[in-house]
């Protein structure tokens, strides 16, 4: 089964540290910065301080409940770090990108028979679909919290770390592919005239990406991060990663599947994504799941005796 094999915590820490160093280089290269004294940074500082304090308390006074709470907060801190680093990294990567791939992505949608405008008009005409779509789209933060809390409560730390590693790799792959196909998204590309409905992701790409390329927006506000990645769709990649992890939690399996199917259905409109964006996001997730699964399986494979290895040479 997918999540029966685990990975060590130090791998997650190493991945986050490496990601931060790469982000620092990208920020320096593009002349971007983050104001360390901005009030919007406070929630992230609080999460880090609380996680460190609870871990220290759990080491000094290892009562079961304190250990579990410290474990949960530690998982959430790692997830927050991955999300924050990834979101900030989209800005320098956008600044380094060239052109837009909307024509190619829309052409792929046309070949697939997907009519984004028809779906948008349907949602724009029904308030209920808008509310359901917004809630489903925002569940990208709810599902991992549930999964990690369950792993912490049940003492399945190895599976939590494997989930975090898969999520991290999916983010890395998404960021690596993003500069190759920057796009403003179907809402900005296809719709002309007043907007009858403004989705969750709005239309930041068409103004923010050119500004970053021109060096006009150089200070990033962590409290005002905007989603500017069109392809691959990270919401789609996340949904498949969540489903793979949630499938191993028998009591929550179908609830997690239902939530993430709803998120996938909401992604074209609320995330202003082409269907081709979503297919690429699905492929990113499948690669991340396969790679981390292979690494975990190789770690579990028992080492062969030296004599046996020598005899095969």
Say whether pLDDT at 41 is over 80.
Answer: no
Query: pLDDT at position 310, please?
Result: 45
Q: Which domain holds residue 206?
A: 2-300
Higher pLDDT: 57 or 124? It is 124
pLDDT for 235 beyond 80: yes
Q: Quick: pLDDT tens for 60-99.
A: 777 787 878 888 888 998 999 999 999 999 999 999 999 9
pLDDT for residue 79: 94
Give me 83's structure tokens.
């999300």
Which is more confident, 301 or 162? 162
Q: Is pTM, for the whole model, over 0.95?
A: no
**Does position 5 have pLDDT exceeding 60, yes or no?**
no
Task: Give strand pairing partners of 219.
Answer: 33
Is the link from the previous residue into 232 a cis peptide, with omega within 30 of 0?
yes
- Number of domain units in the chain: 1
302 band by pLDDT with thresholds 50, 70 and 90: low
Nearest alpha carbon to residue 295 among 161, 172, 151, 144 = 161
- Quick one: pLDDT at residue 308? 45
pLDDT score recorded for residue 37: 79
Q: Is residue 309, in this structure, part of any structural domain at all? A: no
Which residue, 152, 146, 137, 161, is CA-closest to 11?
161
Name the phi and psi angles at 232, rounded to 5.
-75, 155
Q: How many CB atoms lie within 10 A of CB 154?
A: 12
264 domain-assigned: yes
Q: What percent of the chain has pLDDT over 90?
A: 67
Helices (H) and strands (E) in the chain — how many of each? 14, 2
Residue 187 counted as domain residue = yes
- In terms of Cβ atoms closer than 10 Å to its own Cβ (0-12, 13-18, 19+), residue 143 is buried
Nearest to 2 by CA among 130, 196, 147: 147
Is 277's pLDDT higher than 50?
yes
pLDDT at residue 2 in the model: 44
Query: Is residue 312 in a domain?
Result: no
Q: Is residue 306 part of a domain?
A: no
pLDDT of residue 225: 84
pLDDT at 179 over 80: yes
Is residue 27 domain-resident?
yes
Instruction: Please state the rounded mean pLDDT for residues 12-33.
Output: 95
252-275 pLDDT, tens digit each? 999 999 999 999 999 999 999 999
State the pLDDT at residue 301.
65
Residue 305 lies in a domain: no
43 within a domain of the structure (yes/no):
yes
């Amino acid at each position: 089964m997918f999540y029966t094999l685990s990975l060590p915590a130090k791998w997650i820490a190493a991945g986050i540290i490496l990601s931060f160093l790469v982000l620092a280089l990208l920020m320096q290269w593009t002349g971007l910065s983050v104001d360390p004294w901005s009030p919007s940074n406070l929630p992230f500082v609080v999460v880090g301080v609380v996680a460190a304090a609870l871990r220290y308390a759990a080491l000094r006074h290892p009562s079961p409940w304190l250990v579990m709470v410290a474990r949960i907060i530690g998982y959430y801190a790692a997830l927050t770090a991955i999300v924050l680093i990834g979101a900030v990294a989209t800005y320098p990567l956008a600044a380094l990108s060239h052109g837009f791939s909307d024509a190619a992505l829309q052409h792929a949608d046309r070949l697939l028979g997907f009519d984004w405008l028809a779906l948008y008009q349907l949602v724009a005409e029904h308030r209920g679909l808008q509310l359901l779509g917004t809630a489903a789209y925002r569940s990208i933060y709810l599902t991992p919290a549930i999964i990690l809390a369950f792993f912490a409560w049940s003492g399945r730390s190895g599976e939590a770390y494997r989930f975090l590693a898969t999520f991290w790799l999916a983010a890395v792959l998404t960021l690596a592919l993003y500069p190759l196909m920057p796009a403003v998204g179907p809402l900005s590309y296809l719709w002309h005239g007043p907007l009858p409905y403004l989705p969750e992701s709005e239309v930041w790409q068409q103004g923010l990406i050119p500004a970053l390329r021109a060096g006009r927006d150089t200070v990033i506000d962590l409290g005002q991060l905007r989603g500017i990645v069109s392809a691959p769709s990270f919401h789609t990649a996340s949904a498949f990663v969540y489903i793979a992890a949630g499938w191993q939690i028998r009591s929550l399996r179908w609830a997690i599947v239902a939530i993430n199917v709803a998120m996938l259905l909401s992604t074209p409109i609320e995330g202003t994504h082409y269907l081709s964006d979503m297919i690429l996001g699905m492929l990113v997730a499948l690669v991340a799941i396969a790679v981390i699964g292979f690494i975990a399986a190789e770690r579990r494979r028992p080492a062969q005796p030296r004599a046996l290895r020598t005899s095969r040479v």
